[in-house]
Amino acid sequence: MRKSVTLLAVLGLVLGLCGSGPAWAAYPDKPITFVVPFSAGGGSDVMARAITKVFQDEKLLPQPLVVENRPGGSGAVGYAYVARRVGDPYIIATVSSSFWTTPLTAESPVNYEDFTPISGLGLDPFLLMVNPKSPYKTLEDVIKAAKEKPMGLTVGGTSLSDDRVCTGLLEKAAGIKFNYVPFEGGGEAMTALLGGHVDLCWANPGEALNQLEAGRAVALAVSVEERLAQLPDVPTFSEAGYPQVVHYQLRGIVAPKNVPEEAVKVLEAAFKKLHESQAWQKDYMERFMVTPRYYNAKDFANAIVERNNAYIAVYKEIGVLK
Amino acid sequence: METLELLINGFAVALQGQSLLACLIGVIGGVIIGALPGLGPSTGVAVLLPLTFGRNPTTAIIMLAGIYYGAMFGGAISSTLINTPGDSAAVMTCVDGHPLAQQGRAGAALGMASLASFIGGTISIIIFTFLAPKLAEAVLWFGPPEYFALMVMGLSTVSGLTGKSPFKGMASMLVGLALSTVGVDLVTGKPRFCFGRPELFSGIEFITVALGLFGIAELINLAAGESGQLKRTEVKLSFRNMLPNKEDWGHSWPHILRGTFLGFFIGMLPGAGGTIASFISYSMAKRRSKRPELFGKGAIEGVAAPESANNAASVGAFVPLLALGVPGSATTAVLLGALMMFNLRPGPLIFQRAPEFVWGLIASMYVGNVMLVALLLLFIAAFVRVLDTPVHLLVASVFVLILAGSFSLNVGIFEVGITVAFGAIGYVMKRLEYPPAPLVLALVLGHMLENSFRQSLIMSRGDMSIFFTRPLSLILLAVAVAAVVIPAIRNYQRASASRSI
């Protein structure tokens, strides 16, 4: 009896070692949890589900990604959940602006230093929008009016998010002051613009396209260095003489801190293949008008720090941070 | 007449086998999701969304829409039978639906809820069919000052939710308003009263509170043996006895019609939605009813008014979604994501760009409503059997359902804690006869009330006249003032008249 127990124990140990030893070569050997720190149906969720589909269709990893929505606290709840799993390569999360803004503004318990960067995937630029009935037809009109009447023009945007940052950048570049009206979400700010309740608002191309096509809103300028392929008539801020107004939402993937180097390599390679996939470019990037931009793990780490500094600089400028 | 032609084409899509099947699956799923405590339509749609990928977009959206309005039907079931709101728009249905069940009229209450939902839904779809793009313009009249005025109007209806003592109702409302200040501040971005818990950053979830105040409080009450055994209809469970009688209809039909129009228009406004619509519809019904004293004790029109309103609101929410491309509610926000994934970009152009989709969807809503009312009326007898469950089993199993529902909201134990805490508070409130509904209403409205007030003042740079110089805002505020002042004057006159006798 005792013998057999020992035998079983030894057998178990050996099997266990075999199981775990070479398993590293075979990472991943079980499904990877893909946390979206927001509710289903939002921008990050849409991206995560599109990624999962391409991963599955094109077999980019031997194991599936399983999307898990962990909403709450503008991303703080989901990111804290992922950050707790230090060293675990079987959990990854989407990155969007809240990855930086929530820790900076809302004293969230974790920040970018608690994560291992995997890959950057794309940028969402911001468009400065007006109502077609508005007297302002160009960026110059807006700036002229704002100079004549400081605080006279209202800008709608989502609380302290990218919209606030873009407003701050333009104010500083042009030496003007807008009256910023915070809304809960981009949809509300857009509705206020359509109804003529605010003079200006900011929107991602994906959010704005419906309104642009229907002629219910006009884009005056875009916040990246080059004009967008889909909106060739919309000038950049640099063309108008405000090269400082460059801001975008960086989208990508992170894992918890201290994930084994080998696992980062495997994930990085898979996301690079994703970036190169036709289906991904067509079904996600084009459809949602995200500008594709791939960053490997190292570049993404630098970009994350650079983004964080950019947010801090603007928040200090506008008095949100001391 | 062009509309009719398009609608007929829409029916050609909606009556195809796979559309019918999708619609049926959607509405049944919706009823179940609606009836399960806590699980609301936005969660339901989000969870089932991935299953629809790779399918025909029209079929998929027909199914998801079915879940949405199906949930509005289903919410009444748990509200009535176990005093636990199935989703947030069904809270008001508890107030009179459950007392009716205790009086052995659960069948009539559910029958009325289904029929009121059906009428509310169908009239709304008719309005939608013919007027959607025009109505979308009305949505745009609402800026922050108008939202503020609308929220004030909503709060002014609290007087219709209080029981015997107006003081206790007001106290309950003030607690709700205070709770609504928890969360990250919109303007400064700083957390308020969050005690470092990120779970509280986006505020106290309204449904977690409602599950405790209504559901758990009732369970404690049941377990304590104070509200007496729930009883089933004494009369035989024939189909006829299930339906509301002529007298019930006499009391209910004006409130159903008012609830429908109210619900549709409030549902259209982004952010307002079915919950607020059902509250306002209920308190208007109480105010206009010939027997307001019966409200809260089992007035059948107290079930009809909010149920017609929340269904109408779920249809109204499609107006801004389809015609403007902006979501009108949490659920349509998820649907917007779904539409984008199917490469159907909602907005003014969708009516021309994808007519077979838009009209197929609209037609499917007519079909879905008929399916729902037929299904529910058939199964009411089965639902009512729940009340036969011995109290000890009922209490235990409903308790588990409530906790699971609360857990499912954000997949976190924190929400469960909130629900349990409010269960205890709810029981104390019940013993002391503080009505829970004003607290819940204030919690729903408080957030938007504060935000729209501050947005308005930022727009006007501190000038309060913004609320009175915009016509629509002025009208809504005047209605709110009248809603408070007129009953007060009437009471005063009545009081002085009785004194002079």
Chain A 215-274, residues with CB within 8 Å of chain B CB atoms: 216
- B contacts of A107 (beta carbons < 8 Å): 190-191, 196
What percentage of residues in chain B have a pLDDT greater than 70?
Answer: 95
Work out the average pLDDT over B37-41: 80
Is there a single domain that holds both residue A107 and residue A132? no
Is A95 domain-assigned? yes
Inside any domain, residue A100 = yes
Q: Can you give the pLDDT at residue B229?
A: 53
Residues in chain B closer than 8 A to A40 (CB atoms): 46-47, 49, 334, 337
Lowest mean pLDDT among A36-45, A118-127, B189-198: A36-45
CA distances from A253 to A87, A95, A272, A296, B441 (A): 16, 6, 12, 10, 40
Identify all chain B residues contacting A77, using CB atoms and an 8 Å cutoff: 198-199, 201, 410, 412
ipTM of the complex: 0.85
> Smallest CA–CA separation between B447 and chain A, in Å?
11
In order, the DSSP letters of B96-152 are HHHHHHHTT-HHHHHHHHHHHHHHHHHHHHHHHHHHHHHHHHHHHT--HHHHHHHHH
Would you state the pLDDT for residue B263? Answer: 94
Q: Cβ contact (<8 Å) for A107 and B191?
A: yes
E strands, chain A, are 32-36, 65-69, 91-95, 115-125, 127-130, 154-158, 179-183, 200-203, 218-222, 248-256, 291-295
The enclosing domain of A108 has a CATH number of 3.40.190.150
- Which candidate, A207, A184, A189, places its Cα nearest to that of A290? A207
CB A27 within 8 A of CB A268: no
Residue A58 lies inside a defined structural domain of this protein: yes
What pLDDT was estimated at residue B432?
93
Residue A153 domain-assigned (yes or no)? yes
The residue range of the domain holding A152 is: 127-222
Min Cα separation A59/chain B (Å): 17
Chain A contact for B493, CB < 8 A?
A: no
Q: Does a structural domain hold residue A282?
A: yes
Do residue A210 and residue B336 have CB atoms under 8 angstroms apart? no
CB A112 within 8 A of CB A103: yes
pLDDT at A6 exceeding the cut of 80: no
Interface of A with B in 303-322 (CB under 8 A): 320
Query: Where residue A75 falls among pLDDT bands split at 50, 70, 90?
Result: confident
Summarize pLDDT for A245-304 with one digit per residue, the tens.
999 999 999 999 999 999 999 999 999 999 999 999 998 898 888 999 999 999 999 999
Contacts of B67 (CB under 8 A, 6+ apart): B26, B27, B29, B30, B33, B41, B44, B45, B48
Is the Cβ pair B341, A320 closer than 8 Å? no
Mean pLDDT throughout B396-412?
A: 86
Characterize the bridge pairing of strands A200-203 and A127-130.
antiparallel
CA distance A93 to A66: 11
On whether any CB of chain B is under 8 Å from the CB of A209, the answer is yes
Residues A116 and A257 in one domain: yes
The amino acid occupying position B362 is: I
Q: Give pLDDT tens digits for B224-280.
A: 875 555 544 444 556 666 678 888 899 999 999 999 999 999 999 877 788 889 988
Q: From residue A100, how far is each of A14, A161, A167, A180, A312 by CA, in Å?
A: 45, 10, 17, 21, 9
Interatomic CA distance for residues A139 and A162, integer angstroms: 19
**Average pLDDT value for residue range A297-312:** 95
- Is A180 close to B349, i.e. CB distance below 8 A? no
Say which range, B82-96, B381-395, B440-454, has the weakest mean pLDDT. Answer: B381-395
**What tokens does A146 get?**
């704002």
- Look at residues A183, A206, A222 and tell me which one is the last residue of a structural domain: A222
Q: Assess whether pLDDT exceeds 90 at residue B37.
A: no
- Polymer length in residues for chain A: 322
Per-residue model confidence (pLDDT) at position B226: 57
Whole-prediction pTM value?
0.87
Domain match, A198 and A149 both: yes
Final residue belonging to a domain, choices A183, A204, A222: A222
For helices B355-384 and B106-140, the axis angle rounded to 10 degrees is 160
A229 located within any domain = no
A40 and chain B in contact, CB less than 8 A: yes
Residue A188 placed within a domain: yes
The string of DSSP codes covering B224-247 is TT-S------SS---HHHHS--HH
Question: Are residues A165 and A305 part of one domain?
Answer: no
Q: How far is B50 from chain A (nearest CA, A)?
A: 8
How many domains is chain A partitioned into structurally?
2
What is the spatial distance between Cα B394 and Cα B400, in angstroms, rounded to a whole number?
10
Give the A window 286-305 contacts with B, CB below 8 Å: 287-288
- Identify whether the C-beta of residue A38 lies closer than 8 Å to the C-beta of residue A75: yes
CATH code for the domain in which residue A168 is found: 3.40.190.10
Residue A5 has pLDDT above 60, yes or no: no
CB contact under 8 A, B270 and A80: no
- Asked whether residue A279 falls in the same domain as residue A137, the answer is no
* Among candidate residues B358, B264, B255, the one with its CA nearest the CA of residue B315: B264
pLDDT at A17 over 50: no
Asked if A196 has any chain B CB less than 8 Å from its own CB, the reply is: yes
Asked whether residue A139 carries a pLDDT value surpassing 90, the answer given is: yes
Interface of B with A in 32-91 (CB under 8 A): 42, 45-47, 49-50, 53
Say yes or no to pLDDT of A21 above 50: no
- The backbone torsions φ and ψ at residue B388, rounded to the nearest 5 degrees and listed phi first, read -75, -15
| pLDDT per position as a tens digit, A221-241 | 999 999 998 899 999 999 999
Do residue A91 and residue A113 come from a single domain?
yes
